[in-house]
A and B are shown apart, each in its own frame.
Chain A
Amino acid sequence: MPRIGVYICHCGENIAGAVNVEEVRKYAEQLPGVVLARNYLFMCSDPGQELIKQDIRNGLIDRVVVAACTPRTHEPIFRKAVEDGGLNKYLLEMANIRDQDSWPHWQDKEGATEKAKKLVASAVAKAAYLEPLEDRFVEVTRASLVVGGGVSGMFAALDLANMGYKVYLVEKNPSVGGNMAKLDKTFPTNDCSACILTPIMVQVGTHPNIELLTYSEVESVEGSVGNFKVKVRKKQTYIDWDKCTGCGDCVNACPAKVPNEFNEGMNNRKAIYIEFPQAVPKRAVVDIEHCLNCAKRVMGTQPRIHSKTGEPILAPCEKACKTGACDRSRAYNPEGELIELNVGTIIIATGYKVMDKEPFKEYSPQSPNVITAMQLERILSATGPTDGQLKRPSDGEKPKTIAFISCVGSRDKRFHTYCSKVCCMYMLKEARLIKEKYPNINIYIFFIDVRTGGKDFEEYYNYCRNLGIRMLRGRVGAVDELPGDRLRVRAFDVDLGAPVELEADLVVLATAIEPAPALEELGRKMGITCGSEGFLKELHTKLYPVETSVKGIYIAGCAQGPKDIPESVSQARAASSAAAVPLTLGKVIVEPLISEVNQRKCSGCGTCVQLCPYSAISLVEDKGKLHSKIDEALCAGCGICAAACPSGVITLHGFTNTQIFAQIKALAS
């Protein structure tokens, strides 16, 4: 018969405020197997833990139930206490009577106390069947993968590389730089974005420890912390990058016209293109979908021979290339190349995208003079479609009146309920840049609230007001097109308590920040869930903001939620230091809460093999019969196999059938 000790925590008022702790203690005392039950103000404090240790040392108990807060944060502490007392640390069970009881049932003290009793009874029932388990250690591959080559990903990669670890940086576009490379200036100091970003891009491109995999995407992730196997698809560039010097001769020769993504579709690029002038690596790629196959030079075919000159007939891009990097006779694999990487940790920094203007029919998205703030950013940039000249798209005239509309798609239950956080500041910044250069332009900003929390942000706001930028509080109802490329902005001014109308030459929509496309799919490949808003979920908002529910995978930047550049960089550097911990230790402890197959009863149907997300299960032959076998090093203890096994012969240690049935029985009785 086990001798169970139950320890009930007041958690100050957190638990005791709703639960009658003494009543629960008395109840616990008479549960089967329980030899003592104590309560204490803070079980996690030193004296609290000492209670447990003393009882174990005195030989009173051999199983421990702690009824307190969440095991997510506190299980390690209590396991340590149990171990220090001299018991196997897995002989501990926690009942979460705070998050699952006192907090949600704060108004119902009696009900909360009853529920606490149930939760304690359930934990005690399970504790009777707990078995001692031994930790395992897994060697760590001392390399890291960073997904996303924006400012977050680059800083994360640089920090890890500077610590001496091998880093693979995967970026889906041909160049690193991300969204920040598109920006003109950055708040709150108005640094030129390219000027501060380019040196970082160069460092990333030249660092001996960083292997840059641009124009590549993560295809699959297997394994677990310390030993991830990642398949990365290097998309086909149709250019020999070893020979390409980035001179741009081929680009000049190409006759095709394709909307330029880097300039937010406001001008055209070629089908063969270099993403932007400061691109790292500065290499050309062929957008095969839009390639015109000039001179019938379909990739992988031999050129026709000119009947008179006897010379091969080449496409303009080939002719222009002096190094032979552009060779359309080569048989390129359209699928690109699939490479496999072995890494110990992974950082996801896939960034964001801004919403298009199209969904906002009330703001006349069909008008060329209604643009998104990101498009204005490109107009203001020296490398943009207007070479930095302030020209409105319809006729290239300099606008006399500009209206900004905030919270377009953010804080709007039709689209996103969250605040995109950076819009207030970037609108102020864009307005200020224009106003400083052209004081005669009238600028109006329509706000719901001006949110300028952050270092030096409020000062920035006041400065902008003093420049003569006008702020109007109230949501814009509509933007109408007027003759002469004019636009009418109709809003309700909350301060005046009256509707207002304004005629403008250019309307700028501060569209919402959204998760990068296919983020959810990437998350699924790695086993990380997204929140309802679509951004990746951190393990704990406050305490583990860069960790995810998957050990060894970390997040940085806007993949987690809207952020400005300083925050993204801080988080990237935090993620890199967290990701370096397993690499530095060289081994990771893997909890023994893993699955085991009862080989005698296994009929070898292979259902578990196909379902295991960690590829930890294989079929092996023993005495002429097939059985499934679980690789302990790879098993993450998710329990999918145990649930799916048609014969029910897989046991998940720490959550065995016996333990769970005992819990259910206790809850139901």
Chain B
Amino acid sequence: MDDITRAIQETAKNLLLNKEVDVVVGFARGSLPLRNTPCFVRQPDDVQKLIWGYGCENNLANYLRKRPEKIAVIAKGCDTRSIVELIKENQIDRNKLVIIGVPCQGMIDRKKITRLLAGRELLEGEVKDGQVILKGREFREIIPLNQLLYDTCLNCQHPNPVLSDILIGEPVPVKENACFTDVEEFEAKTPAEKWAYFQEELSRCIRCYACRQACPMCYCEECFADCSMPQWLSKSSLNTQDNIFFQAVRVLHLAGRCVDCGACDRACPMGINLRTLTRKMVKDVQELFGYTAGIRLDQKPPLAAPISTIN
């Protein structure tokens, strides 16, 4: 892990020194244990800030749309997939982007730790040999890493960058088949049960729109949720029906574009299970159109392809 951090720092330094890019977007150490934060480095001397670890879960593609300057980005598999779709949608100028690809070993889900510690405060965390060591006041726990990774990462089919200019680190092994058990469980529900499920989950929604803001693919100049002519939604989140409507449209707008990076799900402060919804869409698009988002630059997304040209 430290090797990768060093290589990232060195690569970033060279790019900045040679003026190949104006800014490098990567991760810096966060203020909480096991937590990293997006970081913009513009000066060659600042590259020491950049690190790599198990807390680099943010999808950095979110910072790349319509940038005027030349930019380099540290990108995991899911970041690169978002980048591929954004290039197709003219939101990223490939000529002004240097992708520093890093194969991803999976990221740690802090919510799983919080649940595990049941109220005890985490003061220090460390990953060693597939184990996570959690330390706090008067406790020290060792948990297998696999138990703490994001569900997204456990299911991930594309941990290695699909598109990169510079690759740092060794490719990681890829799981063979996509696992959609959660979606299949959802599909098995009757319409009434599905409706009840939506009611239940989305009654918690406070319509903060964090899911929308975290998603690299949500970039409409004016979101339908903010539109007043016509006003599609009430402004209040007390109306569960409108919350459901918002999520349904948000997910539908991601058809053929969502790469299942899990950013929306991570961003939700109310812990609403958004991934089942987005993954249902991912599965449907795969089954109906044979399309997986963010794999190939030369493959037209189903929304932009005349029916006859889809497989």
Which residues of A pack against B, CB within 8 Å? 524, 600-607, 610-611, 613, 619, 624-626, 644, 646-649, 657-658, 661
The reply to whether the CB of B90 lies closer than 8 angstroms to some CB of chain A is yes
B215 to chain A minimum Cβ distance, whole angstroms, is 13
Contact between chains at A658 and B230 (CB < 8 Å): yes
For B230, list chain A residues within 8 Å (CB).
Answer: 657-658, 661
For A619, list chain B residues within 8 Å (CB).
Answer: 90
A606 to B91, CA, bound (A): 10
Return the contact of B66 from the options A601, A625, A661 (Cβ within 8 A). Answer: A625
A607 to B88, CA, bound (A): 9
Would you list 29 pairs from A and B whose C-beta atoms are within 8 A, ordered by A residue? A600-B221, A601-B220, A601-B221, A601-B222, A603-B219, A603-B220, A604-B90, A605-B90, A606-B89, A606-B90, A607-B301, A607-B304, A610-B300, A610-B304, A610-B305, A611-B305, A611-B306, A619-B90, A624-B68, A644-B303, A646-B253, A646-B303, A647-B221, A647-B222, A648-B224, A649-B221, A649-B222, A658-B230, A661-B230
For B301, list chain A residues within 8 Å (CB).
Answer: 607
A250 to B66, CA, bound (A): 63
A657 to B224, CA, bound (A): 13
- Contact residues of A: prevailing secondary structure: loop
> Using a CB-CB cutoff of 8 Å, which residues 288-311 of chain B contact chain A?
300-301, 303-306, 308
A434 to chain B minimum Cβ distance, whole angstroms, is 47
A141 to chain B minimum Cβ distance, whole angstroms, is 26
Q: Which residue of A lies closest to B308 (CB)?
A: A524
A654 to B221, CA, bound (A): 25
A616 to chain B minimum Cβ distance, whole angstroms, is 15
Contact between chains at A603 and B221 (CB < 8 Å): yes
B168 to chain A minimum Cβ distance, whole angstroms, is 31
For A606, list chain B residues within 8 Å (CB).
Answer: 89-90, 304
Contact between chains at A603 and B91 (CB < 8 Å): yes
Contacts A625-B66, A626-B90, A658-B230; A607 near B222 (Cβ below 8 A): no
Q: Which residue of A lies closest to B253 (CB)?
A: A646
B195 to chain A minimum Cβ distance, whole angstroms, is 20
For B221, list chain A residues within 8 Å (CB).
Answer: 600-603, 647, 649
Which residues of B pack against A, CB within 8 Å? 66, 68, 89-91, 219-222, 224, 230, 253, 300-301, 303-306, 308
A392 to chain B minimum Cβ distance, whole angstroms, is 45
Q: Which residue of A lies closest to B307 (CB)?
A: A524
A649 to B220, CA, bound (A): 10
A218 to chain B minimum Cβ distance, whole angstroms, is 16
B294 to chain A minimum Cβ distance, whole angstroms, is 15
Q: Which residue of A lies closest to B232 (CB)?
A: A648
A414 to B219, CA, bound (A): 53
Q: Which residue of A lies closest to B222 (CB)?
A: A601
Return the contact of B220 from the options A625, A644, A646 (Cβ within 8 A). Answer: A646
For A607, list chain B residues within 8 Å (CB).
Answer: 89, 301, 303-304
For A600, list chain B residues within 8 Å (CB).
Answer: 221
Return the contact of A644 from the options B68, B219, B224, B304 (Cβ within 8 A). Answer: B304
For B303, list chain A residues within 8 Å (CB).
Answer: 607, 644, 646
B306 to chain A minimum Cβ distance, whole angstroms, is 7
Q: Give the 5 A-B CB pairs with smallest separation, nearest first.
A: A605-B89, A647-B220, A610-B304, A601-B221, A607-B304
For A625, list chain B residues within 8 Å (CB).
Answer: 66
For B224, list chain A residues within 8 Å (CB).
Answer: 648
A602 to B306, CA, bound (A): 21
B83 to chain A minimum Cβ distance, whole angstroms, is 15
B148 to chain A minimum Cβ distance, whole angstroms, is 36
Q: Which residue of A lies closest to B249 (CB)?
A: A648
Q: A603-B221, A604-B90, A646-B303 are in contact. List 8 more A-B contacts (CB 8 A).
A: A524-B308, A602-B221, A604-B91, A624-B68, A626-B90, A644-B303, A644-B304, A647-B222
For A648, list chain B residues within 8 Å (CB).
Answer: 224
Q: Which residue of B lies closest to A657 (CB)?
A: B230
Most chain-A CB neighbours within 10 Å: which of B66, B220, B300? B220
B229 to chain A minimum Cβ distance, whole angstroms, is 8
For A601, list chain B residues within 8 Å (CB).
Answer: 220-222
A594 to B220, CA, bound (A): 23
A605 to B219, CA, bound (A): 10
A350 to chain B minimum Cβ distance, whole angstroms, is 19
Q: Which residue of A lies closest to B257 (CB)?
A: A646
For A603, list chain B residues within 8 Å (CB).
Answer: 91, 219-221
For A646, list chain B residues within 8 Å (CB).
Answer: 220, 253, 303
A626 to B89, CA, bound (A): 11
B232 to chain A minimum Cβ distance, whole angstroms, is 10
Contact between chains at A611 and B220 (CB < 8 Å): no
A646 to B221, CA, bound (A): 11
Q: Which residue of B lies closest to A644 (CB)?
A: B303
B300 to chain A minimum Cβ distance, whole angstroms, is 7
Return the contact of A611 from the options B66, B253, B304 (Cβ within 8 A). Answer: B304
A649 to B221, CA, bound (A): 10
For B304, list chain A residues within 8 Å (CB).
Answer: 606-607, 610-611, 644
For B219, list chain A residues within 8 Å (CB).
Answer: 603
For B222, list chain A residues within 8 Å (CB).
Answer: 601, 647, 649
A610 to B66, CA, bound (A): 20
For A602, list chain B residues within 8 Å (CB).
Answer: 221
Most chain-A CB neighbours within 10 Å: which of B68, B222, B305? B222
For A644, list chain B residues within 8 Å (CB).
Answer: 303-304
A524 to chain B minimum Cβ distance, whole angstroms, is 7
A403 to chain B minimum Cβ distance, whole angstroms, is 44
A402 to B304, CA, bound (A): 58
B230 to chain A minimum Cβ distance, whole angstroms, is 6
A646 to B256, CA, bound (A): 12
Most chain-B CB neighbours within 10 Å: which of A600, A606, A607? A607
For B300, list chain A residues within 8 Å (CB).
Answer: 610
Q: Which residue of B lies closest to A610 (CB)?
A: B304
Contact between chains at B91 and A605 (CB < 8 Å): yes
For B253, list chain A residues within 8 Å (CB).
Answer: 646
A405 to B91, CA, bound (A): 65
A149 to B91, CA, bound (A): 48
For B305, list chain A residues within 8 Å (CB).
Answer: 610-611
For A626, list chain B residues within 8 Å (CB).
Answer: 90
